Structure 1
Amino acid sequence: MKFSKSGLAKMAGPASLSVLICGLASQVQAQAVSSSRVQPLSGNPNGVIDFANAKPMPLPRIDKAPAPGAPRAPSAAKKSSVGVVPGSDSGDGQTSPIQLAPAKSSLKAVTPSLGVTQANGVTSQANGQAAPYHPYTIAQASALKDKTQNSFPYRAAGKLFFLDNGQTFVCSASLIKSGLLVTAAHCVANFGTGQYYSDWVYVPAYDNGKAPYGKWKGVQAFALPSYVNGSDSCATPGVVCENDVAVITLYKGRSLPGKRTGWLGYAYGGFGVNPSGQAHITQLGYPVGLDKGAVMERGDSQSYIDPANSNNTIIGSNMDGGSSGGPWILNFGIGPTFTGEDAGVDPDPNTVVGVTSWGYTVTSPKEQGASPFTSNNIVNLVNAACAASPLVC
């Protein structure tokens, strides 16, 4: 797969896909939602996902450098139709491992370099090499080989495999209901073409060829029609857009993955954003440029809202292809019991407010962006998916 100068993915003639338009009223306005059910495979004669040779979905990139300094959103942008839907940490954690592919070789925990010692004895954080020098940290979720990815909330995220014209690609995704995934719209559909990919398979907490909680078949993907037909409001067409967000329902057999892993909450409308347009983000994903995409990576960064880029949220990160669709989470982890302190503002734990969407063609900025979760996109998408498959919600 290649991206043109405009950043659009080009697909060569997959089988025709049915599109279902569902009119649903959001809290703001009526918004149609497009969806596609799994279709017969067109280019893979065996009709199976190739887990061993899956290619990372290329991360959409813009070919301009970020402006010096970090732009800030006006305080008026905060708390517009804010909503929070809590997740659940009640997954029992019971594993049923499946070997999907041979393990990647030469993956081992490495003690990071201490970097350059400052005059005051403090070492530098990881930064982009170009303005605005955005600090971040990146590490394996299980850097100490302690299977951290099998604990909540990590295990609510995983790898998403799918077919594009018979070839297997991979993105990242996370559960926001017991059987409902959130990912990037560019991981389910080709911007501006009306064409969907197919045969999504979700692997929670994927770990170097192993599926500790099994694999789960996608049934139906939902994206806003403005993204699918190319009319979405975008600072860079097909790359930096308002609605690069999608959800996928999973097949319900005897159970659903959330019964084992739990699931994350989600929020929209500026949840967690302070009056300067900032929030602290934890990012999970499987970028091929880090550890060959074989294990879950965690990134942490202060974010800012960029009005010049479709009000997308920007973080410092060096994740790349394969990280697309991975969750951007506020209040990550298991919170403390307060014994003299208070929880502060917007304390809801493990709340997804965006998914990895794009980066820069020039990699020195070490930044990524995400479409904001709003009452027009995530709310409509979840409502449409849960109306179509109530048992997964």
Structure 2
Amino acid sequence: MTSPLLPALAAVSLAGLLAPPAVASEPWDGGAVGTVGKIIWDAGGGRLGLCSGAVVDAPNGSVVATAAHCARTRDNPEPPRDAWFVPGYDHGRDSYREDGWRIASWHTPEGWDVTRETVEVLPHDYAFLTVAEKDGRTVQEAHGANRIAFEPVPEGRRVAVLGYPAVEPYDGESLRYCEGDTDVLGADEAQAPNVGGLVLEGCDMTAGSSGGPWIQDFAADGQSGTVVAVMSVGSGDGHVVGRPFPDEARELFAAAGG
């Protein structure tokens, strides 16, 4: 699980789309974004598992949205135990436990059945994390939160994809982003596992960006917006796909945020 995005990349391709050369994601130049962060866990053998996530507004003030494959895979069917969410992460590998908020529980949809093939469960590649309070405060009290939107996702509106890609040419130590218009994949545009997902062309986000938010309607201060999807898979040639939250995700979200 050191490279959570890669297994899905190998298994899934986009159909009916031209593949332009990959365009490098850009460094985020707006300073730290407290509502977006890095998920880090001890993967054993001196290795760290890496994903991305975003704080979303919840009653308990303690919910982070990410991808289901960050929590469970066929090779690692149980969520990591020693795991942390670090909001506004920036070159903090040596201090992630001190800077981070401990992940108390992982919530993945029933459809994310890791005994099945990845392509069969991709429509369920979203998850919510509940993080413990720190110094008597919730992560939302300390850093704010994004709104969360469930399907249907408005098309044709600007979306920013944020995350911490950690495979070359990136090192996972700083926030990167891609930007474009929201495009929801239809049955005539993609293979079945990707239908209903959001696609962005010209973005070469790599493993480590998994679970990163797709955000519409960024606030003027650049600290929050509306999370409409989370980073799920990429084609390896400059297309990435975000997984939106279906209506049935509301119950899962309520369990994480109650």
TM-score by length of 2: 0.81
Residue from 110, 117, 122 that aligns with 1:225: 110
Please tell me whether the aligned partners of residues 188 and 198 of structure 1 are also in contact (alpha carbons under 8 angstroms).
no
Residue from 9, 26, 39 that aligns with 1:139: 26
Please tell me whether the aligned partners of residues 200 and 218 of structure 1 are also in contact (alpha carbons under 8 angstroms).
yes
Cα RMSD after superposing both structures: 2.8
User: Where do residues 1-393 of structure 1 align in structure 2 (5 Å cutoff)?
Assistant: 55-59=2-6, 60-62=8-10, 65-69=13-17, 131-133=18-20, 138-142=25-29, 148-150=30-32, 154-164=33-43, 167-177=47-57, 178-191=61-74, 194-209=77-92, 214-230=99-115, 236-238=119-121, 241-253=122-134, 254-273=136-155, 278-288=156-166, 289-306=168-185, 307=187, 308=191, 309-316=194-201, 317-334=203-220, 350-360=225-235, 363-364=236-237, 366-377=238-249, 379-387=250-258
Q: Which runs of 5+ in 1 are unaligned?
A: 2-54, 70-130, 143-147, 336-348, 388-393
Which protein, 1 or 2, shows the higher relative CO under an 8 Å CA cutoff with sep ≥ 6? Answer: 2
* Secondary structure of the corresponding residue to residue 237 of structure 1: helix
Structure 2 residue identity aligned to 1:303: T
Deviations 1:192-239 (A, max 9, x none): 97533322201111111276992110101000122035469x7x235x
TM-score by length of 1: 0.55
Deviations 1:21-58 (A, max 9, x none): xxxxxxxxxxxxxxxxxxxxxxxxxxxxxxxxxx4434
Structure 2 residue identity aligned to 1:385: A
Please tell me whether the aligned partners of residues 214 and 230 of structure 2 are also in contact (alpha carbons under 8 angstroms).
yes
1:133–1:280 Cα change, 3 Å = farther
Structure 1 residue identity aligned to 2:255: A
User: Hey, which of these two has a bigger chunk of helix by percent?
Assistant: 2
Please tell me whether the aligned partners of residues 281 and 302 of structure 1 are also in contact (alpha carbons under 8 angstroms).
yes
- CA–CA distance in structure 2, aligned partners of residues 310 and 62 of structure 1: 17
Please tell me whether the aligned partners of residues 62 and 257 of structure 2 are also in contact (alpha carbons under 8 angstroms).
no
Deviations 1:341-372 (A, max 9, x none): xxxxxxxx710011111112xx32x0111222
Please tell me whether the aligned partners of residues 284 and 328 of structure 1 are also in contact (alpha carbons under 8 angstroms).
yes
1:333 deviation in Å? 3.2
Q: Which runs of 5+ in 2 are unaligned?
A: none
1:65–1:181 Cα change, 3 Å = closer
Please tell me whether the aligned partners of residues 281 and 301 of structure 1 are also in contact (alpha carbons under 8 angstroms).
yes
Deviations 1:81-133 (A, max 9, x none): xxxxxxxxxxxxxxxxxxxxxxxxxxxxxxxxxxxxxxxxxxxxxxxxxx154
1:188–1:64 Cα change, 3 Å = closer
Structure 1 residue identity aligned to 2:54: S
Structure possessing the higher radius of gyration over alpha carbons: 1
- CA–CA distance in structure 2, aligned partners of residues 328 and 294 of structure 1: 19
Please tell me whether the aligned partners of residues 5 and 233 of structure 2 are also in contact (alpha carbons under 8 angstroms).
no
Please tell me whether the aligned partners of residues 191 and 227 of structure 1 are also in contact (alpha carbons under 8 angstroms).
no
1:371–1:261 Cα change, 3 Å = same
Structure 2 residue identity aligned to 1:285: G
Structure 1 residue identity aligned to 2:120: P
Please tell me whether the aligned partners of residues 269 and 375 of structure 1 are also in contact (alpha carbons under 8 angstroms).
yes
1:271–1:304 Cα change, 3 Å = closer
Aligned-residue sequence identity (percent) comes to 22
Matching residue of 1:50:
none
1:192–1:322 Cα change, 3 Å = closer
Please tell me whether the aligned partners of residues 19 and 239 of structure 2 are also in contact (alpha carbons under 8 angstroms).
no
Structure 1 residue identity aligned to 2:248: N
